[in-house]
Amino acid sequence: MSSITATPSTKPRQVSVLSDLQAPDFVSNKALLSWIQSIVDLTQPEFIHWCDGSQEEWYLITRKLINKGVLIPLDPELRPDSFLVRSDPDDVARVEDRTFICSAKKEDAGPTNNWRDPVAMMDELRDLFRGSMRGRTMYVVPFSMGPLGGPISQVGVQLTDSPYAVLNMRTMTRMGFDALKQIGENDPWVPAVHSVGFPLADDNGERVLDVVWPSNPVKYITHFPETREIWSFGSGYGGNALLSKKCFSLRIGSYMGLQEGWLAEHMLILKLTSPEGRAYHVAAAFPSACGKTNLAMLQPTIPGWKAETIGDDIAWLRPGPDGRLYAINPEAGFFGVAPGTGEATNPVAMNTVWGNTIFTNVALTDEGDVWWEGMTREVPKHLIDWRGQEWTPEEGTLAAHPNSRFTVPIQQCPTLSEEWYKNDGVPIDAIIFGGRRATNIPLVAEAYNWQHGVFIGATMSSEQTAAAEGTVGQLRRDPFAMLPFCGYNMADYWGHWLNMGEKLGDKAPKIFQVNWFRRENGKFLWPGFGDNSRVLDWICRRVDGLVEATDVAVGRIPAAGTLNLEGLDVSDHDMEKLFEIDSQMWLDEVNLTDSFFAEFGDRLPKQLTTELAGLKKRLS
């Protein structure tokens, strides 16, 4: 058994807010201290706790939550140092309709974001946050996104009254005093404020009884790009409370990238080593439920190939001194969806969560372990479900919530690459876009050039899983897999990608599109999972110019005999269908894309209009 490690540090302390902030001696940034004091004055916590990130602190907070009934310890023989948490049934997922981009101008948020005026929003937030932490401890959570001091890394400080959020932030980021020391006297940081909105004292100072999962019916997840602030109220769950996750790493991060010349992306990072010993690094963007985590933890079926995990969800990319594009995974853990993860689908993930893991909203077995749908072939005869109720298969309900999660340190991943630790990141050889499409999109296609690749990313979509799956017109648009996460106008985001291509020039990564989910008569045509390594093999060899491609209307597909199918039981008919281009169906999709692009008006980059016209001409 091993445990989460952290650099030893000063003993954590709780101090009365009536004295002073009791900041560590090394904190010299007056703006940081002034900001913390302003939030203390607004929220009125009873205590302040400066998080140092130590193992001792982890122990103290977990004991506190065990005593409150928030954390349920799992059997240490089965799942050491691990816990189950059950949230309130009304607080189980991201709240996209309550997520706002508060830019000074509405048009800067764009048509794909919810917008609020920043002045009006801040007035409303201050009313909500006033006294919201009464009777609670405010945790000061300093954290680094990326290796400490790395050229692509950024630092943030989250103030929260949720110890559950603190525990998850410790796993998901480089959290503690080492991160706090990155904020020198004049250094910038991203300020993030979070409250569950459940004070333990009313306006008259009368105590209020706490609940196991405090939250508030009123919820706001707000982002102020120009001032790089995050304010989250009312929810204790997932990305609503772990403000490093989507809020910082993508929404604020994407805007920072626009201003500073880098990219914050909803992408996995994978290292592949060929039988000849050549290493490749790929970044891949997939919408939710399209196999991103499975690909990040790929186990190749082609002899001689090795795959190593660098990241499963977020990539920050910046041009390096040599002119190539370098990427880091700014996170330090996995915040994975549990249902559907099992020995058959992702054995690497299952081997990662052996211990030191927080499970949220999964089921509890009679043996004191966790279970969720898809974890094992055999369904247990009795469980306590995610709501804390008795459950048997005859119930006809789900034992685990569909968005139930595991939070686990990335260092426990058996396929973790040593390059995750590199300060300056890894050079990206290829960028891959994918979606869940039953029709149209071929198994793999290479973009003609960077501009065409940006067009492919901008038109990414998945088809709704319904009886009419595959019908053009039921597309769920998710450009670059960033639809819920882009912190500014999506048209400007596409323009930023186009500008990045110009800057990189001939050193830009090649761009590809993949689709593991093509169907005929309801049957998947491609086996997927480990056999996706065959597609990656072709992509890597295309990067080096070792295999030929055939030009078709939508890109370059593998020339005959260049895709390694040795030992694979896929018929010639199925292979033909995997690359079939139905011109009429594609022309129908072109019309839908034209309507989608029209939503962005004059801000749409003209290069994308050119690419759409080119596609239409090739199809005709």
**Which residues are the active-site residues?**
290
Cα distance between residue 537 and residue 249, in whole Å: 30
* Beta carbons within 8 Å of 254's beta carbon, 6+ residues apart: 263, 264, 265, 482, 485, 486, 487, 488, 493
* Beta carbons within 8 Å of 32's beta carbon, 6+ residues apart: 157, 183, 189
Cα distance between residue 460 and residue 482, in whole Å: 10
Distance from the first to the final alpha carbon of the chain: 62
**Cα 370 to the chain's mean position, in Å?**
23
* Beta carbons within 8 Å of 354's beta carbon, 6+ residues apart: 79, 80, 412
DSSP annotation of 11: P
Q: List the structure tokens of 556.
A: 């370059």
Burial bucket for residue 109 (CB in 10 Å: 0-12, 13-18, 19+): buried
Query: H or E element: which one contains 507?
Result: none
Q: What is the residue whose two structure tokens read 């626009």? A: 258
Q: What is the residue whose two structure tokens read 């002119």? A: 323
The residue count for the chain: 620
Burial bucket for residue 304 (CB in 10 Å: 0-12, 13-18, 19+): exposed
Half-sphere exposure of 5 (CA within 13 A, CB side): 6
Q: Compute the radius of gyration of the chain from its Cα atoms.
A: 24
Q: Is residue 311 within 8 Å of residue 331, measured between CB atoms?
A: yes
Helix axes 163-172, 55-68, angle to 10 degrees: 140
Query: H or E element: which one contains 248?
Result: none
Please, which residues bridge with residue 319 across strands? 325
SS3 per residue for 304-328: CCEEEEEECCCEEEEECCCCCEEEE
**Nearest by Cα to 581 from 611, 613, 618, 609:** 618
